[in-house]
Chain A
């Protein structure tokens, strides 16, 4: 089975910054980590590979230093890492990001299964997985909380919707967006980590994609544009009470009692 996993490098803190002039993310100067939700997607891929024969390809889209995501994925046992990186890819919205990922994935042939995390902690839309599935003309299922069974023809899963838990099976090819609760990531292997440092990473730039028209990527290929950014509206602020622990406890206790009538 051929499995692809999409993973993203994000700033350590969710409270990233944006350039007030361009409305784009400032990535410099912030420590970066692998988006925590994507680790569950990678672990799901590893679990599936243990049950079936197969390979795991990891795709990450970002600046050159996003290669760290692939080194990390190698430490967990990914077979091949692809760094999707080009100046033309910067500033992409949901439409352009998903298009770029589709082009990158397609440049490597057909996959049986594509795995994504629930969302990223920076862009925070949770929409790229569905858009990627549509570009690839695949069905997709979100909110996967359990992997029940994998066979060569189909995969049985549990999905959590707002009010229902659903057991379902789906044939290949398909895209799955997994919840973080599906699997806790395993401990990375020291041996694989050491080996992964030397293991080659495949770079995919604009020139390597089937569609080489730069207008379809990055900011140029995005349908949405950040018109402005602004601080949130301030509501009428109450005076902040400065108290020690005992005073504060008594104050809160009194407020709760009053609120409960």
Chain B
């Protein structure tokens, strides 16, 4: 494939409550950084209806053009991809960024196959090197190593980024952007949506001020009860690393990490969490991390504000007692 002639950055705008999802605004912020102070163009493509909220959100950002497609159907990857693919053919962007959301992760691989190009999931860092290659950095194999990944010979270079990984770009009141709208009729709606209900995400681990995180150091499923009790006493929730979800002890929606949920509570207590990169990438913006582990060299201690080398089985019952004593008074 010819890679000359592809330039600029296209951000997929995910719609939410009539406006744009935070993750898309985070990607626009990263695109602005990658564009080298406006030397490369930044485009956005979204599927949804024009609204005053959306227009106001967009006009504050350094976008060169916005394409908004109206599709009658609810989200279906094989229909929404048609509009995104058409937009890529038109703009020929060198880079396409998707949020690492259900939508983004369904669309990105389909778009990549359409252009026979690469897609890198859940990047934690993106930069452009001196050869104009997008360097996509992510933890490799859930392990304790980072990998720099490049898409050398094909375009566009496609990456997904989980919500909360990049910081939100402050509105800059850039200029008024023309939003180009188009209706998109798909010939192949294959999915019929019967019902759509708001999930109780407000009560999820992503929305807590305080989290207690359990890791591989917890030996038995029953032992999670005392951690859950501690979380309850502190007015927070119990979450875990991937290891316990793989064992079936915790639910996927309780998993912290790049492959689980990105969290940034004010305070987190970790017990027996060694701290894989994929775990830490999903919680590194936590305000205060108190980490307890028996291994003095645990990775989690490198980012913990209060690293404590101790045995969770000795600490937790005593900590629960101290809290109960205070409540009793």
Q: B121, A126: Cβ atoms under 8 Å?
A: yes
Given A95-B113, A122-B141, A252-B315, the answer on whether A180 and B252 have CB atoms closer than 8 Å is: yes
Say yes or no: is A108 at the interface (Cβ < 8 Å to chain B).
no
Q: Return chain B residues, CB-CB under 8 Å to A179.
A: 252
Q: A93–B159 Cα gap in the complex (Å)?
A: 13
Q: Is the interface of B mostly helix, strand, loop or mixed?
A: mixed
Q: Return chain B residues, CB-CB under 8 Å to A18.
A: 140-141, 143, 145, 147
Say yes or no: is A100 at the interface (Cβ < 8 Å to chain B).
no
Say yes or no: is A151 at the interface (Cβ < 8 Å to chain B).
no
Q: A128–B234 Cα gap in the complex (Å)?
A: 40
Q: A211–B60 Cα gap in the complex (Å)?
A: 49
Most chain A CB atoms below 10 A, which of B113, B195, B288: B113
Q: A244–B145 Cα gap in the complex (Å)?
A: 32
Given A130-B110, A237-B301, A244-B310, the answer on whether A224 and B151 have CB atoms closer than 8 Å is: yes
* Residue in chain A with minimal CB distance to B267: A259
Q: Return chain B residues, CB-CB under 8 Å to A214.
A: none
Q: B292, A248: Cβ atoms under 8 Å?
A: yes
Q: A141–B246 Cα gap in the complex (Å)?
A: 22
Among B36-44, B47-55, B100-108, the stretch in contact with A = B100-108
* Shortest CB distance B171–A (Å): 24
Which B residues, 264 to 320, have Cβ-Cβ distances below 8 Å to chain A?
266-267, 269, 276-278, 280, 287-288, 290, 292, 296, 301-311, 313-319
Given A17-B143, A231-B144, the answer on whether A167 and B193 have CB atoms closer than 8 Å is: yes
Which A residues, 240 to 261, have Cβ-Cβ distances below 8 Å to chain B?
240-253, 255-256, 259-260
Q: B120, A224: Cβ atoms under 8 Å?
A: yes
Q: A121, B191: Cβ atoms under 8 Å?
A: no
Say yes or no: is B135 at the interface (Cβ < 8 Å to chain A).
yes
Given A124-B278, A241-B307, the answer on whether A131 and B112 have CB atoms closer than 8 Å is: yes
Say yes or no: is A238 at the interface (Cβ < 8 Å to chain B).
yes
Q: Return chain B residues, CB-CB under 8 Å to A93.
A: 118
Pick the contact of A15 from B151, B154, B276 — CB < 8 Å?
B276
* Shortest CB distance B3–A (Å): 11
Q: Return chain B residues, CB-CB under 8 Å to A142.
A: 77, 102, 105-106
Among A46-54, A72-80, A158-166, the stretch in contact with B = A158-166
Q: B252, A181: Cβ atoms under 8 Å?
A: yes
Among B5-13, B25-33, B61-69, B197-205, the stretch in contact with A = B197-205
Q: A134, B150: Cβ atoms under 8 Å?
A: no
Residues 173-186 of A, flagged 1 when their CB comes within 8 A of B and 0 if not, give 01000011100100
Say yes or no: is B59 at the interface (Cβ < 8 Å to chain A).
no
* Shortest CB distance B194–A (Å): 4
* Shortest CB distance A175–B (Å): 10
Say yes or no: is A213 at the interface (Cβ < 8 Å to chain B).
no
Pick the contact of B234 from A36, A234, A256 — CB < 8 Å?
A256
Q: Return chain A residues, CB-CB under 8 Å to B76.
A: 139, 141
Q: Return chain A residues, CB-CB under 8 Å to B74.
A: 166
Q: B141, A25: Cβ atoms under 8 Å?
A: yes
Given A162-B201, A244-B310, A248-B315, the answer on whether A167 and B118 have CB atoms closer than 8 Å is: no
Q: B109, A222: Cβ atoms under 8 Å?
A: no
* Residue in chain A with minimal CB distance to B288: A259
* Shortest CB distance A46–B (Å): 18
* Shortest CB distance B64–A (Å): 26
Q: A122–B105 Cα gap in the complex (Å)?
A: 17
* Residue in chain B with minimal CB distance to A93: B118
Q: B195, A229: Cβ atoms under 8 Å?
A: no
* Shortest CB distance A185–B (Å): 10
Pick the contact of A121 from B75, B113, B144, B246 — CB < 8 Å?
B246
Q: Return chain B residues, CB-CB under 8 Å to A230.
A: 145-146, 148
Say yes or no: is A16 at the interface (Cβ < 8 Å to chain B).
yes
Q: Return chain A residues, CB-CB under 8 Å to B307.
A: 237-241
Which B residues, 88 to 132, have Cβ-Cβ distances below 8 Å to chain A?
101-103, 105-110, 112-114, 116-122
Q: Return chain A residues, CB-CB under 8 Å to B142.
A: 14-16, 121-122, 124
Q: Report A's interface with B, CB cutoff 8 A.
A: 14-18, 23, 25, 36, 93-95, 98, 118-119, 121-131, 133-135, 138-143, 156, 160-171, 174, 179-181, 184, 222-232, 234-235, 237-253, 255-256, 259-260
Chain A to chain B contacts (Cβ below 8 Å), 7 pairs: A123-B141, A140-B78, A164-B196, A166-B196, A180-B245, A238-B301, A259-B267
Q: Nearest 5 pairs between A and B by C-beta?
A: A245-B314, A223-B118, A249-B318, A224-B118, A130-B109
Additional A-B contact list (5), CB under 8 Å, known A131-B110, A226-B148 = A15-B276, A23-B147, A139-B77, A229-B147, A245-B310
